[in-house]
Amino acid sequence: MTRVVAIALLLFVAITASGCRHPAIPTGPGAVNGVTDPARLPTAYTVSGFVLTDTQAGDVPVDGARVDTNVGGTSTTLTNGRYSITLHLTSIPRVVEFLASRWGYQTVKSSVTITGDADIDLHLTRLPRYTISGFIFEESNGVAVPVPGVQLYCDACGEYGHTFAYSDDHGIYSIEGAFEGNNTLLVKKEGYLAPVGSAPDRSGNQVVSAIVLGSTRLDIQLVHK
């Protein structure tokens, strides 16, 4: 009798366990109400092209530009200005926003209808740049005496930013590639205090401000320690 009961219990456990198993419910892209629809699975499309800027000589490639989309994917242009992005879309046609940006250029946004693999060129406009120049001096008996070898640093100037310049033997300096607006200059020379009229920036460095609306002259006075 005991043996019969034991066998019956084993059969009950086996039947119950098999009845508790549920089939896996599909999830993720292409799954609708737990059912995978092959037509809704993402398809990869390649979008490539060039990032260009207009010059007097015509369109020229922009290297180092970043291209992003609102559906994922990013690319940085090569030296020839070419980019390539893979888009994973569940259906086409699909309107996709492309955003192209680079230091020194105005960011551009473009909406494009994607119907498959595509070649799409994007155009950036170069921001105007100007020169900041001037005379660095110290006052001695009412006379402005030039100070050579003064180091100037402009974080936002130059082709890629982080630009250094030095005053010459006549105290003259020049910094290329300044953008319109407020540009701050960090001015240093051993044995001198911070420039007259300077103010601390966010990092506590004493800087002088140059309001640039075109090529700008900014003379700077130093004082011996």
pLDDT tens for each residue of 197-215:
999 988 888 899 999 999 9
Q: Does some domain include residue 96?
A: yes
Q: How many structural domains is the chain composed of? A: 2
At 36 the pLDDT is 54
Residues in contact with 186: Cβ distance below 8 Å, sequence separation at least 6, in sequence order? 152, 153, 154, 205, 206, 207
The domain that holds 195 is classified in CATH as: 2.60.40.10
Domain around 199: 129-222
Whether residue 120 is found in the same domain as residue 135: no
Q: Does some domain include residue 7?
A: no
At 4 the pLDDT is 47
At 21 the pLDDT is 53
Q: Does some domain include residue 4?
A: no
pLDDT tens for each residue of 38-58:
657 899 999 999 999 999 889
Residue 3 confidence class, pLDDT cut points 50, 70, 90: low
pLDDT tens for each residue of 87-113:
999 999 999 999 999 999 999 999 999
Nearest to 97 by CA among 68, 124, 123, 76: 68
The domain that holds 110 is classified in CATH as: 2.60.40.1120
Whether residue 122 is found in the same domain as residue 179: no
What number is the average pLDDT over the span 32-36? 56
pLDDT tens for each residue of 163-195:
999 999 999 999 999 999 999 999 999 999 999
Give the tokens for residue 158: 């130059």
